[in-house]
Chains A and B, each alone.
Chain A
Amino acid sequence: MRGWFLPMAVALGFIFLYAPIVSLVVFSFNESRLVTVWGGFSTKWYGELLRDRQILGSAWISLQVAFWSANLAVIVGTLGAFVLTRFGSFAGRLLLTGMITAPLVMPEVITGLSLLLLFVSMELTLGWPAGRGLTTIIIAHTTFCAAFVAVIAQSRLRQMDESLEEAARDLGAGPVRVFFDITLPVIASALVAGWLLAFTLSLDDLVIASFVSGPGASTLPMVIFSKVRLGVSPDVNALATIIIGFVLIAVLIAGWLMRRAARKPL
C-alpha cells in the first residue's frame, strides 16, 4: 500500500494544484500570439510588457495599495484583537466581536457598494476624501484586511500565557511598556503572517477596488480583467509569471527569516 499509493497521491495533488500555473509559465515564453498554440520559445512578451505603461502603472498602484493597507490592517486588527482578548467583558463586547468578523463573511459586492456610498456622502458633507483613488482603495482594503488580521492575532493572543504580561507588570513595567516589550514580540510571528495575508488579499482584490477606485487609480487586477475581456493576450501570461516569481521569492525570504528567528542563539 505504502509503496506506490502515497507518492502517487502526492504527485496527483501537486499536479492538480500546480499544472495550471506551470502551463501559464510555459506559455508566457510562447512565440505565437495565440495563447493555446505553441510557436517556439521567445521572451518577446516580457519586452512587450515592459513597454506597456498601463500595466506597469497599475502594478505600481496595486503594490502601494497592498503595502499601505497591510500596514494599516495590522495596526487596526492587532488593536481590535487586543481589546477583545484582554479587556474581559465590557459593554458592547459582543457587538464588537461580531462587527470585527463580519467583513470575513460579507459579500464583497456589499462591502464595495457600502464603502462607495460612504465615500460619496463623506465627500459631500466633509469634503474628504476628495474624489476616489488611491486613498479610498487603501481605506477599503484596510477594512476587510483588518478583519483577517484580527482573527489571526486573536487566536495567538488567546494561546499566549497571560502570566507573561503579569510578570512584566510585576517587574515594574507599565501597561504600554508591557505591550511593546512582551505582547508584541510574542505575537510577532502571527502579525507577520497577518501582514502577508493582508498584502496578498489586497493584491488579489478586484470587486471592492472596482467600486471605490476612481479615474487614474486602476489596480492590476482591474487592468488585467479589462484586458482579458477583449481576449487573453500573451503579455498577461508574462505578467503572471513575474508575479509568481515575486511571490516565490517573498515566501522563501519569509521562511528563511522564520527559521533564523527560531534558531537564533542569542
Chain B
Amino acid sequence: MDGPAIAADTKPWRDPSANPFISVRGVTKRFGDFTAVSNVDLDIFKGELFCLLGESGCGKSTLLRMLAGFEQPTEGSIRIDGEDMARVPPDRRPTNMMFQSYALFPHMTVEKNVAYGLLREGMKKSDAYAKAAEMLRMVKLEKLARRKPDQLSGGQRQRVALARSLVKRPKLLLLDEPLGALDKKLREETQFELIKIQETLGVTFIVVTHDQDEAMTLATRIGVMKDGIIEQIGEPREIYETPRSRFVADFIGTVNLFEGVVEAAAPDMMRIATPDLGDVMVLPQEGLTRGQTIWGAVRPERFALTRKRPEDMPNAWEGVVEEMGYIGHMSQYRVRLPSGALIRASQSNRLREEAPISWDEKVWISVPPAAFRVLTE
C-alpha cells in the first residue's frame, strides 16, 4: 500500500512537535452584543477530516465562515498553511466551501458551474471544461453535465456542489452541513463516499454538522461546540469514551448521569456517594478532594443485566425492567431501582440460547468501576 500518508492513520495531532496546517488563535466573533464565537483555539492538521459538531446557533457555522473569509474575526488570528488570513478576501484564500444550500448557480449548466472556479483562475476554457468533466466523472455525474441545477435531484445537486468545491483542489475544503438535505439512506452511503474522496485527494476537510452519528463516522477528530466555545476536541473514540463535561457526554450518544459526592479516595479505588445508586466504587482520578460534587457518567452498553447477582462486582443493584425495546442487534432497557432512579441500559443480542430478559422481570444490574467516567463540570 503506497498511498499518500493519511491523517487518519498517522494521527499527527498526537505528536506535540507536529506543525498544524490551520491554526486558529483566540478567535472571537461578536455581532453587536451577541458573541457567536468566543476565544476559540484550534489546530487542524494536513489531511484531516475535522468535524465541528454542535446544535444550531452554537457558532460552528460562524467559525467556518471566518475560515472561508465571509466574516472577519472581531479578535484573534487565523493562519492557513502558515499564512495569516486577516486581510485576505474569500476569492484569494486557498479554501473552497460547499454550502448547505449547495448554492449552485441556477442559470448555468452543471459543467459551467463546476468549471466556473477554474475559469476565474484564468485557466483556458478547453482545459477548464476537461477538468470539470474529470471531476464530474469522479462524482458519477458525467451524463448530466449539460443539465441545469433545477433538473437534478437533491442527491445529484449535492454531488455537483461537491465537485465544484473540489475542482480547484483547494488546500482546505469547508463543508457546511454537506449531507443535511439528503434522506437517511442516501446520507449513509454518501458519508463513506465523502471519506473515500477525501482520502484519494488528500485535501483537508472541515465539516460542520449537528448530526453526531455523521461526525462519529466521518471525522478523524471532532470539536464539540456549545455557546461559541469548543467544549472538547478529540478523536471520536475519546469524545465518546472520555467526555470532558456533562454536556459532551450527553450530546454524543446516550448516557446515564449520576450526581454524587467524593467520600473516600484510596490509591486504587475511590468511593462516591450518590442519592440514586448509593455508594459506588470508581477508579481514582487526580485532582478530586473529599466532599467534592461530581457526576458519574455511564454509557448504557457498559451495564450488564443478569438474573443472578454477579460475583465480585462492587457496583451491583437489583431493579425491575420497566421498559424494553428490541432493536435487532441489541435491546434497550429501562431499569427502575428501589431508589427511584431509572437506568438506561442496552445489551447486544449475541447469545440466542437463553430466554431474553423481558418486561417486569427482577434483574441485577452491574457495572465495572472503570466504566464510570467522573466529571467535574
Q: A residues within 8 Å of B by Cβ?
A: 161, 163-164, 166-174, 177, 181-182, 185-186, 265-266
Q: Given A186-B106, A265-B146, A266-B146, are A169 and B89 also a contact pair (CB < 8 Å)?
A: yes
CB atoms of A177 and B120 under 8 A apart: yes
Measured between beta carbons, the chain A residues less than 8 angstroms from B245 are none
Measured between beta carbons, the chain B residues less than 8 angstroms from A161 are 101, 103
CB atoms of B103 and A174 under 8 A apart: no
- Which of these, A163, A170, A266, contacts B91 with CB under 8 Å? A170
Measured between beta carbons, the chain A residues less than 8 angstroms from B121 are 172
Interface residues of B in 102-157 (CB under 8 A from A): 103, 105-107, 109, 116-117, 120-121, 146
User: Closest CB of chain A to B152's CB: distance in Å?
Assistant: 14
Task: Answer yes or no: B317 CB below 8 A from chain A CBs.
Answer: no
Which residue of B has the minimal Cβ distance to A178?
B91
Measured between beta carbons, the chain A residues less than 8 angstroms from B101 are 161, 163
Whole-angstrom CA separation of A185 from B100 in the bound complex: 22
Whole-angstrom CA separation of A265 from B144 in the bound complex: 12
Most chain A CB atoms below 10 A, which of B69, B89, B120: B120
CB atoms of B96 and A171 under 8 A apart: yes
A-B contacts, 25 listed (Cβ < 8 Å): A161-B101, A161-B103, A163-B100, A163-B103, A164-B103, A166-B68, A166-B97, A167-B103, A168-B105, A168-B116, A169-B69, A169-B70, A170-B68, A170-B69, A170-B90, A170-B97, A170-B165, A171-B96, A172-B92, A172-B121, A173-B91, A181-B116, A186-B105, A186-B107, A266-B146
CB atoms of A172 and B168 under 8 A apart: yes
CB atoms of B109 and A166 under 8 A apart: no
CB atoms of B99 and A172 under 8 A apart: no
CB atoms of A166 and B70 under 8 A apart: yes
Count residues of B near A (Cβ-Cβ below 8 Å).
26
Measured between beta carbons, the chain A residues less than 8 angstroms from B103 are 161, 163-164, 166-167
Measured between beta carbons, the chain A residues less than 8 angstroms from B89 are 169
Which residue of B has the minimal Cβ distance to A177?
B120
Whole-angstrom CA separation of A177 from B101 in the bound complex: 22
Other than the known A164-B106, A166-B97, what 6 A-B pairs have Cβ atoms closer than 8 Å? Answer: A163-B103, A171-B117, A172-B168, A181-B116, A186-B107, A266-B109
Whole-angstrom CA separation of A174 from B69 in the bound complex: 13
User: Closest CB of chain B to A182's CB: distance in Å?
Assistant: 6
- Which of these, A166, A172, A173, A185, contacts B107 with CB under 8 Å? A185
Measured between beta carbons, the chain B residues less than 8 angstroms from A168 are 105, 116
CB atoms of B107 and A170 under 8 A apart: no
Task: Answer yes or no: B373 CB below 8 A from chain A CBs.
Answer: no
User: Closest CB of chain B to A186's CB: distance in Å?
Assistant: 6
CB atoms of B90 and A166 under 8 A apart: yes
User: Closest CB of chain A to B231's CB: distance in Å?
Assistant: 28
Task: Answer yes or no: B164 CB below 8 A from chain A CBs.
Answer: yes
Which residue of B has the minimal Cβ distance to A182?
B105
User: Closest CB of chain A to B53's CB: distance in Å?
Assistant: 22
- Which of these, B97, B105, B109, B120, contacts A172 with CB under 8 Å? B120
Measured between beta carbons, the chain A residues less than 8 angstroms from B69 are 169-170
- Which of these, A166, A182, A266, contacts B99 with CB under 8 Å? A166
